Structure 1
Amino acid sequence: MDDYRQAVCKNSRGKFLFLDFATAKNQRDWLETAQMYGGVYLVGNRWVLSSSPRKNMEEFREKFGGTIEEGTSYGGASRTPR
């Protein structure tokens, strides 16, 4: 079984990356690596959505729940819970 499945789409609102993870550990491992490169992530139960600008993540959080996490190029992350 794969660790995760990934889908990418692009429209007039931006580019979106959606990942669905086999386990919570796979999800956390992926996030820890991805956040070293920066970005904004909407994190749910074994899924992650990433897009730019941050406004996209705030709108999706209203619909789907989850927590917004932001990575930094220095390896840290900040969280905005709902």
Structure 2
Amino acid sequence: MADQDRMTRQQYRQQRETVAPEEDDVPDAAASRRAYAAENNRALEEAKTKRLARKLNWAIAGLVFAIIVVFLILFLTP
């Protein structure tokens, strides 16, 4: 009985093509959600990177200013 129900890969592919050719036209909802999530994650990551870069730029500017102030104090005090 199990041998009668078995089919070759070629027969299975032919059956899949005849049974559901119109299903390929409909976009996969899960794939669409995954694509949206990936795009959303990429946008969030980009925003976080820009925010971190801005903070690091301010930290570097502050350190440069502090170094200049220290050198001025050391060289200008008698």
TM range (shorter): under 0.3
| TM-score, scaled relative to structure 1 | 0.21
| TM-score, scaled relative to structure 2 | 0.22
Higher percent of residues as strand:
1
Higher relative contact order (CA 8 A, sep 6+): 1
Higher percent of residues as helix:
2
